[in-house]
């Protein structure tokens, strides 16, 4: 009798309105087609939507998530399965795929400074947990360059 490999149940929690999330879904789809060892369940959600009630009952093997709220991140972490966070802040207890907030802020400020700008604005996603490091780094670099800084928080963030 052929050895049947048990498939892993993987949850994707993404806001599919964003191109980056759709790209992640395409990559996961390619992996599933090539490896054929995952069953994927998608929680399609808006950036600031609360977790669906069924997530609390979900049982699976792993999670790939772009959690825009700390509450959602904690809900998913409570599942005690391997999890990859795509919007992390480097302070959570999970694997994260991130870019270097400090380097990105420094490059942005340097670019605009070289172009002659002295006024800088940061559009923050409210007090979203995953954007705080970015904002702090940007503000530090603008202050270091003695620029004028304006921070515009998006009121819809949680």
Q: Tens of pLDDT along 65-87?
A: 888 777 788 888 888 999 988 87
Beta strand 83-85 pairing with 62-65: parallel
Please choose, from the candidates 148, 143, 152, the residue with its C-alpha nearest in 3D space to the C-alpha of residue 118.
148
Tokens of 134: 């970015």
Instruction: Report the pLDDT averaged over residues 105-134.
Output: 87
Please choose, from the candidates 59, 97, 55, 47, the residue with its C-alpha nearest in 3D space to the C-alpha of residue 74.
55
Q: What pLDDT digit, counting tens, does each position of 18-53 carry?
A: 788 888 889 999 999 999 899 998 887 776 676 777
Q: What is the pLDDT of residue 86?
A: 83
Distance from C-alpha of 51 to C-alpha of 77, rounded to nearest angstrom: 13
């Amino acid at each position: 009798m052929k050895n049947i490999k048990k498939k892993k149940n993987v949850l994707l929690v993404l806001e599919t309105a964003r191109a980056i999330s759709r790209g992640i879904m395409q990559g996961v789809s390619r992996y599933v087609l090539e490896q054929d060892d995952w069953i994927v369940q998608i929680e399609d959600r808006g950036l600031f939507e609360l977790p669906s009630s069924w997530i609390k009952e979900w049982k699976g093997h792993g999670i790939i998530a772009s959690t825009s709220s700390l509450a959602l991140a904690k809900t998913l972490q409570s599942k005690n399965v391997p999890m990859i966070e795509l919007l992390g802040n480097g302070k959570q207890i999970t694997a994260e795929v991130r870019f270097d907030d400090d380097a990105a802020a420094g490059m942005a400020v340097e670019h605009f400074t070289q172009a002659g700008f002295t006024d800088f604005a940061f559009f923050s996603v409210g007090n979203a947990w995953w954007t705080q490091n970015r904002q702090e780094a940007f503000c530090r670099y603008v202050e270091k360059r003695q620029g004028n800084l304006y921070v515009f928080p998006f009121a819809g963030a949680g």
